Structure 1
Amino acid sequence: MFDSSFDYCAAGKAVLQTEIEGLQQLSQYIDAQFAAACELILHNKGKVAVMGVGKSGHIGNKIAATLASTGTSAFFVHPGEAAHGDLGMVEPNDVVIAISNSGEASEILALFPVLKRQKIRIISMTGKPTSSMATLADIHLQVSVPKEACPLGLAPTSSTTAALVMGDALAVALMQSRGFTAEDFALSHPGGALGRKLLLKLSDIMHTGVKLPKVAPSALIKDALFEITQKGLGMTAIVDDNEQLLGIFTDGDLRRLLDGRIDIHHTTIGDVMTPNPTVAHPDMLAVEGLNLMEEKKINGLMLCVDGRLIGALNMHDLLRAGVM
């Protein structure tokens, strides 16, 4: 039977307070051993293999992912699987980060002799500085906490949080020491919002070839309207015989034109086009193109190289590409 009077919020806040207290004392362990671990990882010629069992394994997976996304080549290998063949993933030039709160994880300790035989350097991350893993490793990172947030003192809570934060500290310190930039981050996150903003170019999303709306200046307005409707960009370019951009005509221009009672069946588009329109280079970043369109208060953009029409796009293209 559940106690309906139980204070869930108080219990939740107590967990937060316990974990905060654990993290507050973690800063004392950012010491010479931490600096040595950073130096070892920074100057090694291989990758970083992260190991952990149980909850420490989940934390290890996250640490490996964070390292990999911030410029340190890293991967997670489960110690149990490593003992049955996956240890072949770890090479002599690699560094191993072994995580265990007790420092006595038998699955990891069983691998130490093999790792040492291959001269693979080991960084242990434990809550017990006198444990077997702490003693046998080349470098030890202490992640002790006063107590677990679990009231039974059984479920790894504060201890796993401390290990995770220590891993983040390693990853970020290494990232900063490498001069890792937002552009570097985008290269490892091409599918994310940042990747699209820093990597996607206008040339990646522009309309070209038969999809590019364009007419000659001698075309009648009605023919230009047919081109606009067929290509679906809400505009058309006006080009000469050498594909040099002369002007642009948009849906907005049509509305203004009709107010002036212009005969669309007998007037050429060259007579009513907007000359010298805003253009961009195809190599411009998509986000820069968006900024240009917003600055000029336009919904479409012609892309040119040395005045020659190469492509076109509108706001809908940027929206579909996830730039907006």
Structure 2
Amino acid sequence: MNLATPPSTASPAGFDRDRAVRLAHETFDIEAAAVQGLKARCGDSFAQAVEAMLAVQGRVVVMGMGKSGHVGRKIAATLASTGTAAMFVHPAEASHGDLGMIKPVDLVLIISNGGESDEITVILPVLKRLGAPLVAMTGNAKSTLARHADIVLDCGVDKEACPLNLAPTASTTAQLAMGDALAVALLDARGFQAEDFARSHPGGALGRKLLTHLSDVMRTGEAVPSVPPDAEFPALMREMSRKGLGASAIVDAAGRVLGIFTDGDLRRLIEQGIDLRAMKARDVMHAGPKTIRDNALAAEAAQQMEQFRITSVLVVDADGILVGAVNSNDLMRAKVI
């Protein structure tokens, strides 16, 4: 095969593009209607389920077979990442030993559209004897699962998006939406904040923004360019070149920031034709530069750079003493921006 040759755009024999698009639109309509239909059935039982999950001392154990099982794994993951301890246990594995993972202090959330899956019905009596509260998310309020449950969340749909009305499509979308609704109600009731979310997502973009402090990424010690105000201009240039920040702080004897001189300042002075050889740092510095506290988040430095259209920020302590510096490249390496 010649990789340089683009694949053929010819449609396979018998393929109807217009029909494919029409079916996609119908799928969206059917699944949107399924989710909207949940609103009329989301009332006291939903509030009871949220209250029970808030009160549980152990974990919310989510179970489901087939496509409902895939939905269950997602719901368990969403709950766990938003402040509700949760895990997924496969019903088929439960009857072969994994039931030992479930304790009376847990709450069991079982997802099944029909509510009659053999792998689920066989373990219901054991779960009831265990004494853990049982919440059913089902489309069949008269099913075996619903009869055994303490709380029933009705996720029934009028029809599946599948043209054969067989493949779980609208029903699993409704289950996902109900699971998300539970997670949202729970995180709100717990007072869950963005910082809490970041702690469970340290590897994600939000986690880096909310957990990375300037002290984690800033340059410190000898890596921070600084000169006294009476430093000769050549000494200022050498300090900037040696430290590679694109700027240098001008500090007093105590280390307090008096000003800053940047590559941009240098270009502007050269354009003006000013003879810089006799200048001192105090003559060319930009007084009262933007600084940021050393206990700030790295994302705050990024925001300040964007707001004031600058590429570096000096970091100071509570007394205004220079303790570090950071530029946009440092923040990009830390994946904060």
What is the CA deviation profile of residues 3-26 of structure 1, one whole-angstrom value per residue up to 9, with x for unaligned ones?
134521111122222223323322
- Cα offset, 1:213, TM superposition: 1.5
Residue in structure 2 matching 1:3, options 14, 17, 21: 14
Question: 1:62 aligns to what?
Answer: 74
Question: 1:278 aligns to what?
Answer: 290
Q: Tell me if 1:112 matches 2:124.
A: yes
Residue in structure 1 matching 2:33, options 5, 21, 25: 21
Structure 1 window deviating more from structure 2 (308-317 vs 252-261): it is: 252-261
8 A contact 2:233–2:276 mirrored in 1: no
Which aligned pairs between 1:85-234 and structure 2 lie closer than 5 A? 85-234=97-246
Amino acid at match of 2:322: L
CA RMSD of aligned residues (A): 2.1
SS at match of 1:191: coil
Q: Distance in 1 between matches of 2:267 and 2:161?
A: 67
Q: Distance in 2 between matches of 1:44 and 1:17?
A: 37
- Cα offset, 1:128, TM superposition: 1.0
Amino acid at match of 1:197: K
Amino acid at match of 1:158: A
Amino acid at match of 2:246: G
Q: Distance in 1 between matches of 2:15 and 2:162?
A: 21
Structure 1 window deviating more from structure 2 (123-132 vs 113-122): it is: 113-122
Q: Distance in 2 between matches of 1:268 and 1:244?
A: 18
Structure 1 window deviating more from structure 2 (288-297 vs 202-211): it is: 288-297
SS at match of 1:312: strand
Q: Distance in 1 between matches of 2:30 and 2:252?
A: 73
Seen in structure 2, the aligned counterparts of structure 1 residues 230 and 110 have a Cα distance that, compared at 3 Å, is farther
Amino acid at match of 1:262: L
Residue in structure 1 matching 2:327, options 310, 314, 321: 314
SS at match of 2:57: coil
Q: Distance in 1 between matches of 2:136 and 2:16?
A: 44
Question: 2:274 aligns to what?
Answer: 260
Question: 2:93 aligns to what?
Answer: 81
What is the CA deviation profile of residues 16-74 of structure 1, one whole-angstrom value per residue up to 9, with x for unaligned ones?
22223323322222122211111100111111111111101100011111212222111
Structure 2 residue runs of 5 or longer lacking an equivalent are: 1-11
What is the CA deviation profile of residues 143-166 of structure 1, one whole-angstrom value per residue up to 9, with x for unaligned ones?
111111112222111111111111
Amino acid at match of 1:3: G
Structure 1 window deviating more from structure 2 (284-293 vs 73-82): it is: 284-293
Amino acid at match of 2:192: F
Amino acid at match of 1:96: V
Amino acid at match of 1:4: F
Question: 1:239 aligns to what?
Answer: 251
What is the CA deviation profile of residues 125-181 of structure 1, one whole-angstrom value per residue up to 9, with x for unaligned ones?
111111111101111111111111112222111111111111111111222222322
Seen in structure 2, the aligned counterparts of structure 1 residues 106 and 5 have a Cα distance that, compared at 3 Å, is closer
Question: 1:72 aligns to what?
Answer: 84
Structure 1 residue runs of 5 or longer lacking an equivalent are: none
What is the CA deviation profile of residues 189-221 of structure 1, one whole-angstrom value per residue up to 9, with x for unaligned ones?
333333333333222221112321123344332
